[in-house]
Amino acid sequence: MDAIVAEFQANMWLYISIPFVSGLIGYITKVVAIKMMFQPIEFWGIPPFLGWQGIVPRKAEKMATIAVDLMTERLIKPEEIFARLDPQRIAREIEVPMMEASEDIVREVMHQYQPGLWEGMPEFLRQRIIKRVKAEAPKIVAVIMSEVQINVSRYFDIRHMVISNLKKDKRLLNEIFQKVGKQELKFFCKAGFAFGFIIGLVQMACWLIFRQPWMLPAFGGFVGLFSDWLALQMLFRPLNPKKIMGYTLHGLFLKRQQEVAGDYAALISKQMLTPGIMMEELFNGPRSDRVINLLQKHVRRVVDEQAGLARPLVLYAVGTERYIQMKQSVAERILEKLPETMKHMEEYAEDAMDVRNTLIMRMKQLTPTEFEGMLRPAFKEEEWILITVGAVLGFLVGEMQIHFMI
């Protein structure tokens, strides 16, 4: 015993450094693990195997699918939020820009298909046609929105919208997991130091007594591996609060369900489920051909109605085939103008859809298992790699320690 005390006194600062170095190993391995989860956004190195890409960006499609499955199954339904829109109110919101666009469309189409007829018309007649078409254009949009509301899934694919946008913008996908788990990611790093320090005290005692060269790298590897595993367990287990010896144990992430709901809802409502992105999906998504057909049907109807009694004369002047082409051209030009025009209704739509508050309310009602699924996939995907890297780094640092201790 006297020899052990003498050894400690002789190399006191080296022995004191052991738990701190062990804590540093635990901390560094956690920081590296988190970096490996999210960075780099694109593959760095020599593809396909020599290099690395962050786990979340590399698994973007799977991660996005998990996110959208939770979103559509438990949090929000497209039918629900579209039903909150008033088609007539949308028509009023876009009336001015839509009418301006309609006037340009009428002039462009008439100049294209029958410039002589258009220029030969008296000005009052040209203005009358323009006025009638301008009045009908916003109504066409209102009718289309009404029909979309009747069968939202026929015209709008929320899964495609979310998955394609997250695959395209991997930074946003990273941000979702980082925002949702911001406190847990900080804890993950701090816990690494705490666990490493505690294990380091045991390591110090063992080295003082046994002084075996294999002990330092072995303990370093154990710190990296065990602290990663234990920190993950503390984040997500137990799912439900459990009392043990007067203490309530509950997964740290699960305890923050109420707080996370607000952060998640704010991010999703501002960057993913916005009226602008939804309108873009409606008019340019994989089911947009159905919206285009709907638009063409109503444009043909309106053009025929505005032609009225003069329709036979118009057909005679331009020909049946060109008359059909004219209607097609009007529909195409309206469709081109719609994305820009619909921006004028986004403020109203955001308030009416109320995506943020809907998400907050539904998230607070999730079961622990469902709520765990919001963050757990980011850790669980190839979790063994993160733990293995932690063990390897710990082993290497332990190996370096030997040179200072011997």
pLDDT band, very low/low/confident/very high, at 6 (cuts 50, 70, 90) = confident
Q: Work out the average pLDDT over 231-254.
A: 81
Most confident of 28-42, 227-241, 387-401: 28-42
Q: Work out the average pLDDT over 128-155.
A: 82
Per-residue model confidence (pLDDT) at position 62: 84
Per-residue model confidence (pLDDT) at position 112: 66
Average pLDDT of every residue of the chain = 80
CA angle 29, 173, 366 (to 5 degrees): 95
CB-based contacts of 269: which residues, under 8 Å, 6+ apart?
Answer: 350, 355, 356, 359
Per-residue model confidence (pLDDT) at position 310: 46
Residue 389 has pLDDT above 80, yes or no: no
* Nearest partner of 10 among 211, 167, 299, judged by Cα: 211
What is the spatial distance between Cα 141 and Cα 299, in angstroms, rounded to a whole number?
A: 10
Higher-scoring residue by pLDDT: 305, 226: 226
Higher-scoring residue by pLDDT: 374, 53: 53
Q: Work out the average pLDDT over 368-372.
A: 85
pLDDT digits (tens, 9 = 90+) for 391-406: 777 777 767 766 665 5
Per-residue model confidence (pLDDT) at position 113: 61
- Total structural domains within the chain: 1
Could you report how far apart the first and last alpha carbons of the chain are, in Å?
20
Per-residue model confidence (pLDDT) at position 91: 86
Give the range among 97-106, 212-221, 321-330 with minimum mean pLDDT.
321-330
Backbone angle region of 265, left / alpha / beta, with phi > 0 → left and psi within -120 to 50 → alpha:
alpha
Q: Work out the average pLDDT over 299-312.
A: 60
Domain region containing 195:
2-405
Residue 351 has pLDDT above 90, yes or no: yes
What is the spatial distance between Cα 101 and Cα 133, in angstroms, rounded to a whole number?
A: 10
pLDDT band, very low/low/confident/very high, at 336 (cuts 50, 70, 90) = confident
pLDDT digits (tens, 9 = 90+) for 105-118: 767 766 666 666 55
Residue spans of beta strands (DSSP E) within 32-126: 44-46, 50-52
Residue 46 has pLDDT above 90, yes or no: no
Percent share of the chain, pLDDT over 70: 84
- Amino acid identity of 331? A
Give the range among 256-260, 336-340, 345-349, 398-402 with minimum mean pLDDT.
398-402
